[in-house]
């Protein structure tokens, strides 16, 4: 289909000025005759605020204040964009706020279910506002409830896409695009086959855009970000970052796997399967080139890529009975890790001990130690940093270590990983 998918994240729509800027980008493409499916996240930090509004997440009086601030935040943006107080948008927003107010006060007793019912309002609000604003700017569009399109397995808070049921909705989605209008829809949210609202996991809007790109077999997908493209390191940790011009799909998947936060890890695979290029462009400087993830053989330019993960814990797990670290022990350790819900960033074993590097989370680590202690001795170090370098050289490794103590090191042909003191 001759349609392209755009994804705008929370930072690109976090104020009235930001929405105006976003609309001007969309309008330029619209005026050039392009048709778009525009996937939008919740505005600014709305999802964080909504997490606090899940029943029992906070005291009622605190929640009252958070709710009020959230309403004010959206209204203040909307007043800028729609100066006429009798604009229809105000009626629609009032209805959404009333529904949210009801949802946040109705506890089912099941946290993950309640979470999805409340948190999904961030995207419902943002897309309602943006669809109306684009229409006002002359970008004819259809607001689509993505919960009618993307079907999941119903697992609240981290739903998996049910691809075959989702693909059955392809025609419905295409219907909305008939006649040349663009579509505005929500990232991150979806629904079970019974129609219960679910979410795809934090930062899941990139993935939504990829699912829709796959469904429609679009020519390209673009993620509009506050960075110039795919950088070779997070500028927070690195002074002289270089923008990647061309990034092979497999390299982007490796990057996301090792923790690069540019794109959601699940985003690339659906695009790769249909050979759809992914553009990463700056909404601050929309004319600039950006980066392309696509069917390339090598990265261009060929430079090392760095991924830094702070606040890590390095844990060593040793069998109490002096057995070796063998299949039975590993099986037991992995089953405890998955029961507790801890994901492992790096692992290594020797004859007598198994080491893992994981994100620091007090509650999960206490649970993990408690479960492991029946059969294992556990030791751990906090305040570690995990550095991953793809396409490393010895000089790079030396400069990262630079006098710091290395607790663990692993190298393959392409990738070096070091656990060092933070
Ligand atoms: N609004 C959701 C979040 O903040 C999804 C997204 O932004 O991609 O996690
Ligand atoms: Mg976001």
**Position 392 pLDDT exceeds 90:** yes
Give the Cα separation of 34 and 25 in Å (integer).
12
Cα(47) to centroid(ligand 1), Å: 6
Q: What is the mean pLDDT of residues 218-236?
A: 94
The pLDDT of residue 10? 97
Give the Cα separation of 377 and 319 in Å (integer).
6
Q: What are the tens digits of pLDDT across the range 333-391? A: 999 998 888 889 999 999 999 999 999 988 889 999 999 999 999 999 999 999 999 99
The pLDDT-based confidence of 228 (bands split at 50, 70, 90) is: very high
Cα(41) to centroid(ligand 2), Å: 6
| Paired tokens of 15 | 């104020």
> Closest ligand 1 atom, CA of 188?
5
Q: Residues with Cβ within 6 A of ligand 1?
A: 9-10, 41-42, 47, 122, 187-188, 202-205
Do 236 and 178 touch, CB atoms closer than 8 A?
no
| Long-range contacts, stretch 407-411, CB < 8 angstroms, 24+ apart | 407/314, 407/381, 408/314, 408/346, 408/348, 408/355, 408/357, 410/346, 410/348
Measured distance between the N- and C-terminal CA atoms of the chain, rounded to whole angstroms: 49
The tokens 């994901």 sit on which residue?
Answer: 343
Bridge partners for 421 per DSSP: 384
**Position 124 pLDDT exceeds 70:** yes
Strands 344-349 and 305-319, bridge-based pairing: unpaired
Cα(46) to centroid(ligand 2), Å: 9
R_g of the chain, CA atoms, integer Å: 23
The pLDDT-based confidence of 326 (bands split at 50, 70, 90) is: confident
Which residue's CA is the nearest one to ligand 1's atom 5?
203
Cα(347) to centroid(ligand 2), Å: 29
Q: What are the tens digits of pLDDT across the range 275-307? A: 999 999 999 999 999 999 999 999 999 999 999
> Closest ligand 1 atom, CA of 205?
8
Q: By three-state DSSP, how is residue 397 classified?
A: helix
Q: Ligand 1 pocket test: pick from 42, 226, 263 the residue with the most ligand atoms within 8 Å of its Cβ.
A: 42
The pLDDT of residue 414? 92
The pLDDT of residue 221? 98
The pLDDT of residue 257? 86
| Domains in the chain: ranges and CATH | 4-218 (3.40.1160.10), 305-421 (3.30.2130.10)
Strands 189-192 and 376-390, bridge-based pairing: unpaired
Cα(284) to centroid(ligand 1), Å: 20
Those residues whose C-beta lies under 8 Å from the C-beta of residue 230, and which sit 6 or more positions away, are: 243, 244, 247, 252, 255, 262, 280, 291, 293
The pLDDT of residue 2? 85
The pLDDT of residue 238? 83
The pLDDT of residue 261? 78
> Closest ligand 1 atom, CA of 45?
4
Q: How far is CA 354 from CA 74, 180, 299, 346, in A?
A: 49, 58, 34, 11
Those residues whose C-beta lies under 8 Å from the C-beta of residue 98, and which sit 6 or more positions away, are: none
Cα torsion 8, 14, 17, 22 to 10°: value is 0
């Amino acid at each position: 289909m001759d349609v392209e998918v755009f994804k705008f994240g929370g930072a690109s729509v976090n104020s009235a000025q930001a929405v105006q800027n976003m609309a001007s980008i969309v309008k330029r493409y619209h005026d050039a005759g392009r048709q778009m499916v525009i996937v939008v996240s919740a505005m600014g930090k709305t999802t964080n605020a909504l997490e606090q509004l899940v029943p029992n997440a906070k005291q009622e009086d605190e929640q009252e204040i958070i709710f009020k601030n959230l309403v004010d935040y959206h209204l203040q943006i909307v007043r800028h964009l729609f100066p006429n107080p009798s604009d229809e948008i105000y009626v629609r927003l009032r209805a959404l706020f009333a529904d949210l107010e009801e949802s946040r006060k109705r506890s089912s007793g099941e946290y993950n279910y309640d979470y999805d019912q409340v948190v999904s309002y961030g995207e419902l609000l943002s897309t309602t506002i943006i669809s109306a604003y684009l229409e006002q700017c002359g970008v004819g569009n259809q607001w689509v409830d993505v919960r009618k399109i993307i079907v999941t397995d119903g697992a609240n808070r981290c739903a998996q896409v049910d691809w075959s049921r989702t693909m059955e909705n392809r025609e419905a989605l295409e219907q909305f695009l008939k006649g040349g209008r663009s579509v505005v829809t929500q990232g991150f949210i979806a629904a079970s086959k019974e129609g219960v609202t679910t979410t795809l996991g934090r930062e899941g809007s990139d993935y939504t855009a990829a699912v829709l790109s796959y469904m429609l077999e679009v020519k390209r997908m673009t993620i509009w970000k506050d960075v110039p493209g795919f950088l070779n390191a997070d500028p927070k940790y690195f002074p002289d970052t270089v923008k990647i011009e061309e990034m092979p799909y497999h390299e982007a998947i490796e990057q996301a796997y090792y923790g690069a936060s540019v794109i959601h890890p699940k985003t690339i695979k659906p695009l790769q399967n249909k050979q759809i290029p992914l553009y990463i462009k700056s909404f601050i400087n929309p004319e600039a080139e950006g980066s392309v993830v696509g069917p390339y053989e090598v990265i261009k330019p060929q430079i090392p890529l760095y991924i830094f993960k702070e606040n890590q814990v390095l844990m060593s797990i040793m069998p109490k009975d002096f057995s070796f670290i063998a299949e039975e022990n590993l099986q037991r350790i992995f089953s405890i890790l998955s029961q507790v819900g801890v994901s492992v960033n790096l692992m290594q074993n020797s004859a007598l001990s198994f080491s893992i590097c994981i994100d620091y989370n007090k509650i999960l680590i206490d649970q993990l130690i408690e479960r492991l202690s029946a059969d294992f001795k556990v030791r751990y170090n906090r305040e570690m940093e995990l550095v991953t370098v793809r396409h490393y050289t010895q000089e790079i490794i030396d400069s990262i270590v630079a006098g710091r103590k290395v607790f663990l090191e692993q190298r393959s042909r392409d990738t070096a990983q070091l656990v060092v003191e933070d």
